[in-house]
Structure 1
């Protein structure tokens, strides 16, 4: 089976979610370092315009968004399950909670605390990504509120762990743990001054330590050029379209995120499931790629034939 390639950067919190998933499943994978800010000349040709990190590549198949990547890892690879209780529902609910409310509070707490230390180029890039001001002074004023929200999120975790379980679904770690963990990793690694104000020895700090110990699986390093060459030499995996999407099958469509990083990607709809859609793209110098997106948080519409 073609190996896993993760297009990432070291400080990316959503990449950390995936790195912990690799550790849970004991997977070998290759890291391709991508820029933190635009331009991303070695990523955009693969995705068709999608610029968010991480992106997973397996041969000529390109998977956008960490929520979809987790599902694909479980579908393709054996080993310990990312859903140790046997159902993806709980993990997906935790993931939605942490990717939205908890992540937004973490962003405000981190960048509001860092203040003038934040690179202006990063600020400009994130404004382009979100389509709204990345207002550091406003974040600074909101830090007390953000910390109160994070403490409330921690209290929910503490309540769930209060029966003595080691991980969120019991004795074995899963996607739910990776999803809940990465925001605290983000805070503690990039704004450690906040650690003492958040952890209260209520069981969450012990759980955090256990997740940290999982590690990242077997990581290798790959250059962007090597990843592109792999895509060029591969063919996408076969796909099918659900009957509900038959009207769009084989037609040119446009897919875009609905929250931020809303750059649309166009291609021919060649695959769909209840949780994903797949576009075929023909790329000069690379060939045929299949670019996969989750349904949740993304819109799909006709783009003309």
Structure 2
């Protein structure tokens, strides 16, 4: 099997970003449900330690972070496209803003509403994940503070949609729509917040995005996914390792670490590097040889310590 496998869980907003992409493209995909909090015993062997959600697997190729997941989906299934013409760079930039600035505000608002129902173990996990303590007693106040920030950010989207456009960059949805939508989805659909109720254009747009659905989901066990990795070989890489300021070359031992949250380094052998992506070769008893792919933006690449 060399089809798309998404390791995710239902309440994950970043997973919703990818699931809606499946709906836009009308794709069938295999779904492996992973725990929302650590431990994740069947995921970490695939990624080498990266714990964020979602992760996409195709055979023995593993894609970490929705930036590179969506680029790979687009490469393999280019129609309908998610990167509209000359606006490709703008869509990527908008998505990076949404994934970091907008998402931070959305999380604060959503946690303020849902926090009293969250188990202590989950909040403890998220404290470790974020690198700062989460105090249940302060979540509602933080949500109230960040509601203004959320409305300010999404006010720009409301204004952009006021000229009658159907999606952010025209008549078809793009990566930018997916990235903004997953933040709106978290607040509107998961937390059931009314903080955005008066943004009529935004809500009509969000309804259009929701209407794409998730494509055709086929359940798969995590054990089966690991077996697929073991029985597969990574796809050949192209381009090799580009010249870089660190002096890294093919075969160098390196680590890749998220620069915001979930800062668990992944160590492997460098096999490909360019301005937008980095690929590591890893080998483990659970998976055999895999290639683990990361984007460059939002991640720190350094030589591994001896």
SS of corresponding position for 1:79? coil
Q: Structure 1 residue 201: deviation in Å?
A: 4.6
For residue 229 of structure 2, what is the aligned residue in structure 1?
Answer: 231
Q: After superposition, where does 1:84-163 map in structure 2 within 5 Å?
A: 84-163=84-163
For the structure 1 residues 265 and 201, does the alpha-carbon distance in structure 2 shift closer, same or farther, using more than 3 Å as the test?
closer
SS of corresponding position for 1:22? helix
SS of corresponding position for 2:211? helix
CA contact under 8 A between 2:241 and 2:249: conserved in structure 1?
no
Give the aligned CA root-mean-square deviation in angstroms. 1.6
For residue 180 of structure 2, what is the aligned residue in structure 1?
Answer: 180
For residue 65 of structure 1, what is the aligned residue in structure 2?
Answer: 65
What is the alpha-carbon distance in structure 2 between the residues aligned to residue 184 and residue 176 of structure 1? 13
What is the alpha-carbon distance in structure 1 between the residues aligned to residue 28 and residue 90 of structure 2? 26
For residue 170 of structure 1, what is the aligned residue in structure 2?
Answer: 170
Q: TM-score, normalised by structure 1?
A: 0.95
1:153-190 CA-to-partner distances (Å, cap 9, x unmatched) read 22101111111111111111121111111111111222
In structure 1, stretches of 5+ residues that fail to align are none
What is the alpha-carbon distance in structure 1 between the residues aligned to residue 205 and residue 116 of structure 2? 33
CA contact under 8 A between 2:5 and 2:56: conserved in structure 1?
yes
Q: Structure 1 residue 141: deviation in Å?
A: 1.4
For residue 241 of structure 1, what is the aligned residue in structure 2?
Answer: 240
CA contact under 8 A between 2:226 and 2:286: conserved in structure 1?
no
CA contact under 8 A between 1:85 and 1:169: conserved in structure 2?
no
CA contact under 8 A between 1:43 and 1:51: conserved in structure 2?
yes
For the structure 1 residues 201 and 264, does the alpha-carbon distance in structure 2 shift closer, same or farther, using more than 3 Å as the test?
closer
CA contact under 8 A between 2:13 and 2:185: conserved in structure 1?
yes
SS of corresponding position for 2:144? helix
Q: Structure 1 residue 115: deviation in Å?
A: 3.8
For residue 265 of structure 1, what is the aligned residue in structure 2?
Answer: 266
CA contact under 8 A between 2:6 and 2:30: conserved in structure 1?
yes
Q: Structure 1 residue 86: deviation in Å?
A: 4.5
What is the alpha-carbon distance in structure 2 between the residues aligned to residue 50 and residue 285 of structure 1? 16
- The 4+ residue runs of structure 1 with deviation greater than 4 A are none
What is the alpha-carbon distance in structure 1 between the residues aligned to residue 199 and residue 182 of structure 2? 18
What is the alpha-carbon distance in structure 2 between the residues aligned to residue 279 and residue 242 of structure 1? 11
What is the alpha-carbon distance in structure 1 between the residues aligned to residue 243 and residue 113 of structure 2? 48
SS of corresponding position for 1:248? coil
Q: Structure 1 residue 304: deviation in Å?
A: 4.8
For residue 207 of structure 2, what is the aligned residue in structure 1?
Answer: 209
1:129-159 CA-to-partner distances (Å, cap 9, x unmatched) read 1221122323321222211112112210111
1:99-142 CA-to-partner distances (Å, cap 9, x unmatched) read 11111111111112234222101111111112211223233212
For residue 33 of structure 1, what is the aligned residue in structure 2?
Answer: 33
CA contact under 8 A between 1:4 and 1:30: conserved in structure 2?
yes
Q: TM-score, normalised by structure 2?
A: 0.95
What is the alpha-carbon distance in structure 2 between the residues aligned to residue 116 and residue 213 of structure 1? 30
CA contact under 8 A between 1:281 and 1:290: conserved in structure 2?
yes
What is the alpha-carbon distance in structure 2 between the residues aligned to residue 285 and residue 139 of structure 1? 39
SS of corresponding position for 1:271? strand
For residue 197 of structure 2, what is the aligned residue in structure 1?
Answer: 199
What is the alpha-carbon distance in structure 1 between the residues aligned to residue 93 and residue 142 of structure 2? 27
What is the alpha-carbon distance in structure 2 between the residues aligned to residue 25 and residue 259 of structure 1? 30
